[in-house]
Structure 1
Amino acid sequence: MANQRELAAAIGVQVATLTHHLNATESVGSITRRRAPDNPRVQVVELTGEGETVFHRPAKAAIAQDKRIRAGFSDEEITTLAAPLSRLAANVTAVGIDQENSDWTHPNGDSGQD
């Protein structure tokens, strides 16, 4: 449970923008809004049972995908792969990679530079 101003600040949007999205979310039954008993200017937002289901659906999908990816690997194999794969991911996302002047050579001997 949170109020609209707190939610807007937490996700980095204006209250008016959040209100638009909350209106749509409320219309499909995923949230309820009510006035705070101690301050009638504040709207308190809560997930409904349907909202909880919708909220958790992506997590369930991610867990299922993770199980599919790890299928056939032991915990030890996953641990062994983690560090080099993390370094590869960091290299791919590194800012400022200069591909033209890279000394990387493809395993087939081609530097990729023509």
Structure 2
Amino acid sequence: MTPFERPPVGMNLGRTAKLVAQAFDAALVEAGGTLPVWLTLLSVKSSTLANQRELAGMIGIQGATLTHHLNAMEAQGLLTRRRDPVNRRVHLVELTEAGEAMFETLRKAALVFDKRLRVGLPDERLAEFAQVLAALRANVES
């Protein structure tokens, strides 16, 4: 078998990741959100009074990009920012009642999407897949 009879693993993985990401984005939009809103809400919800620098790191984006998203989400009433009393240069981010409601809506959409993604895949195969993904990450990180 020549190398071109089947796509390289990286190409196949990239195509699949892109397709899954697009479908997940569409599911979030249908639920009234976006991927950046979901990632921000999830990150804020999973930390106690996270500051903007920590949030950017959790989400994997630059601080300036996060500021843009936080400004929009604050204008929508999904979160509030306030100065840290210990370090006035740091903003602490908290969800509002509307942010909590949006989090719950998008959480449900994410769970429905995950269930759709797993259809026909037994737990053993998913566990093996997780191991393969971990090995691929380790191969590129070293």
For Structure 1 versus Structure 2, the TM-score category normalised by the shorter chain is 0.5 to 0.7
1:61 to 101, 109, 113: 109
Residue 74 of structure 1: aligned partner: none
Query: Gaps spanning 5+ residues in structure 1: where?
Result: 71-77, 96-114
Q: What TM-score comes out, normalization by structure 1 length?
A: 0.56
Residue 2 of structure 1: aligned partner: 50
Residue 4 of structure 2: aligned partner: none
Which of 1 and 2 has higher RCO (CA within 8 Å, sep 6+)? 2
Percent of matched pairs sharing the same residue: 51
Alignment-mate amino acid for residue 84 of structure 2: A
Residue 41 (1) aligns with residue 71 (2): no
> Where is the helix percentage greater, Structure 1 or Structure 2?
2
Alignment-mate amino acid for residue 18 of structure 1: L
Larger Cα Rg: Structure 1 or Structure 2? 1
Residue 11 (1) aligns with residue 59 (2): yes
Which runs of at least 4 in structure 1 moved beyond 6 Å after TM superposition? none
Cα RMSD after superposing both structures? 3.3
Q: What TM-score comes out, normalization by structure 2 length?
A: 0.46
Count of residues in correspondence between the two structures? 82
